[in-house]
Amino acid sequence: MIADRKKKDVGYDGYFRNCTRVCGELNKIVENIDRFEVTESRINAIIENFNGASNAGDTIKYVEKGRDKLTVIIAELRKAEKRAKES
């Protein structure tokens, strides 16, 4: 991932704008997940929405893709945290 940053030389302004945009997007994702309440009635509402198994299967795949992306982000943040502690 760090190699990608080194390959693209868009200048400091472009790099800073990208960092600001990406951090803003990530903050929105985290805030939305944090605000999402997992209660029995909400889970029941989700389950009731999926009368057909194909609908549920598609949604499960979609959520799992999101989880996989979050896992990559967490791993990269942990690497950055480790580097910061070492320096």
The pLDDT tens digits along the chain (87 residues) read 555 555 555 678 888 899 999 999 999 999 999 999 999 999 888 888 876 666 788 888 989 999 999 999 999 999 999 999 998
Q: Is there a single domain that holds both residue 56 and residue 80?
A: yes
pLDDT at 55: 76
Choose among 78, 59, 70: nearest CA to 32. 70
pLDDT at 50: 76
Domain, as residue range, for 4: 1-36
Q: Is there a single domain that holds both residue 32 and residue 56?
A: no
Domain count, the chain: 2
What does each C-alpha distance from 80 to 39, 52, 74 come to in angstroms? 34, 43, 10
> Helices then strands (H, E): number in the chain?
4, 0
Give the sign of the dihedral formed by CA 82, CA 14, CA 25, CA 55.
negative
In a domain, 44, yes or no: no
pTM of the predicted model as reported, rounded to 2 decimal places:
0.69
In a domain, 41, yes or no: no
